[in-house]
Amino acid sequence: MTGTDMFGLLRGGLVVSCQAYEGEPLHGPQFMSAMARSAVLGGAAGVRVNGPADVAAVRAAVPVPVVGLWKDGDGDVYITPTLEHALTVVRAGADIVALDATSRPRPDGRGLAETIAGVHRAGALVMADVSTAEEGVAAAEFGADCVSTTLSGYTSAAPPPDGPDLGLVAVLAGKLDIPLFAEGRIGTPAQAARAIELGAHAVVVGGAITRPADITQRFARVLGETRS
């Protein structure tokens, strides 16, 4: 499938990020493929999945585009930090590889353009996860197929803000001529719709849909305040 076809399938739609970390009750390919199937039943146009095992299981379980990534290492750059990680994610079956496209140095010493070219040679598309408008524009110049606002709020020591960075969505939508994905802390359908109005090609939602412990905590905290 060409990039145009792939992004056509995602236009105006919802990509559900299905991720659970090691140690969490839902960690593991069987749970994440069930989560992805549930998302597709609910109308997801695509899914975003972490790690080769989950990517392979989800690829086999759903017919929609799979955005794959591999969070690894304890450095600043942890979303698909090297070209080798990216190629492993492609081999696992991802259509699009999401990778850190911030201006920070990558641990394998490769530049972003070289990394993107390597993913293209392996037959997949690249989603550039950025934190600023400048990084998004640079990623497009370096050959990324699409940009996502994934890392806004996560590159400094300060805790991330509560809501999504819709300001960045608006600015990048005005600067890019490749698809822009709004991602990060989108917590309500209204915020997702607003991101599309502001020019996003599609919206990625994770925790608000796929993290039941966090969702439960939001309710339990409020009730806890009223319990004696």
In the complex, the residues that contact ligand LRY under the rule CB under 6 A are 17, 19, 69, 79, 150-151, 154, 183-186, 204-208
| Cβ distance to ligand LRY smaller for residue 118 or 164 | 164
- Output 33 or 50, the one with its CB closest to ligand LRY: 50
Q: 33 or 150: whose CB is closer to ligand LRY?
A: 150
**Closest residue by beta carbon to ligand LRY:** 206
Q: How far is the CB of 227 from ligand LRY (least distance, A)?
A: 28
Give the separation between CA 119 and CA 86, rounded to whole angstroms: 7
Residue (173 or 185) nearer to ligand LRY, CB: 185
C-alpha 21, offset from chain centre: 15
What is the maximal distance between C-alpha atoms in the chain? 61
CA dihedral for 177, 150, 19, 69, sign (positive or negative):
positive
Shortest Cβ 228–ligand LRY spacing (Å)? 34
Q: Smallest distance, Å, CB 41 to ligand LRY?
A: 19
Judged by phi (left if over 0) then psi (alpha if -120 to 50, else beta), residue 153 lies in left
* Shortest distance in whole angstroms from residue 100 CB to ligand LRY: 9
Structure tokens at 149: 């606002």
Q: Smaller CB distance to ligand LRY: residue 65 or 206?
A: 206
CB of 193 to ligand LRY, least distance (A): 15
The gap from C-alpha 17 to its chain's centroid, in whole angstroms, comes to 6
Q: What is the DSSP string of 86-144?
A: HHHHHHHT-SEEEEE-SSSPPTT---HHHHHHHHHHTT-EEEEE-SSHHHHHHHHHTT-
